[in-house]
Structure 1
Amino acid sequence: MADLCPRFEGAMGILSKRWVGLILFELLNGTKRFSEMETDLPISGRLLSDRLKMLEKENIVERNIYSEFPVRIEYSLSDKGKALKPVIQEIQNWADNWMPSDYAEQSNT
């Protein structure tokens, strides 16, 4: 049990960083280019880049570079990242059942 707490805290530290959940949710739908994610998510390019680098360092996201002109860079979930799918789906289920439908509006006031 002593090993569980630090590991759990470490996992929650990664997953609770702002925008990480949405980035992972986006990548569950498949490989994406940076520009696609930047368009689809309400996040600045700089912060998106920062979060993707952090997720890559944690081996949750893979960055693939294709030698084309212009260079094409795509992001996808690693096996470690794909293993988060049931966790993210359960959080979505919990939110659907327990969070008010106007929660986003309430939290902005």
Structure 2
Amino acid sequence: MSDALEVLGDRYSLPVLRELLYGFHRFSDLARLTGAPRTLLTGRLRRLEEAGVIVRRQYSERPVRHEYHLTEAGADLIPVILTLKEWGERHTGHAEPKAVFRHTCGAVLHPVTTCGECHEEIRPGGFEVAGGTHPPVMRG
């Protein structure tokens, strides 16, 4: 988890990814929608690009302009972004407008972490942690 936070754990990386997910790809839109100072945003975009989370594509030659898109690694963060969005709406009490994500079938998306084998939802007490820097076996 610390490796992921090294890439995503600053103030603007997740908001940038959120806006890319919402369909905003141009620097000016990302700056306006995230509130990030332009110089800081330039550095964050470069860092996300170096980490393989986003890719920069030129869309104009004169003047030279780029837009940003999620890579496959960035797309792997979609469930994380949706989960954080839903958690924030449920637990922070902030009344910001809620974007609704729908699957192509029309149903509203609600991210859920499930077991890859039995497909049951993962809840506290329903898993064990083994290996890594944790005690030999830790129950969730």
TM-score (structure 2 length as normaliser):
0.62
Query: What corresponds to 1:76 in structure 2?
Result: 69
Query: What corresponds to 1:23 in structure 2?
Result: 16
TM-score (structure 1 length as normaliser):
0.79
Do 1:31 and 1:77's aligned partners in 2 also have CA atoms closer than 8 Å?
no
The Cα RMSD (Å) is: 1.6
Do 2:60 and 2:66's aligned partners in 1 also have CA atoms closer than 8 Å?
no
Distance of 2:94 and 2:67 partners within structure 1 = 33
Deviations 1:83-103 (A, max 9, x none): 10011101111111111227x
CA apart distance, 1:67: 5.5
Distance of 1:23 and 1:31 partners within structure 2 = 9
Structure 1 gap ranges (5+): 1-7, 103-109
Of all paired residues, the percent bearing the same amino acid is: 35
Deviations 1:49-96 (A, max 9, x none): 000000000000100124522223111111110110011101111111
Q: Which structure is larger by alpha-carbon Rg, 1 or 2?
A: 2
With a CA cutoff of 8 Å and minimum separation of 6, indicate the structure with the bigger relative contact order.
1
Distance of 1:62 and 1:17 partners within structure 2 = 19
1:35 aligns with 2:35: no
Query: What corresponds to 1:54 in structure 2?
Result: 47
1:9 aligned to which of 2, 9, 22: 2
Larger helix share, 1 or 2: 1
Structure 2 gap ranges (5+): 96-140
1:86 aligns with 2:41: no
CA apart distance, 1:11: 0.5
**How many equivalent pairs are there?**
95
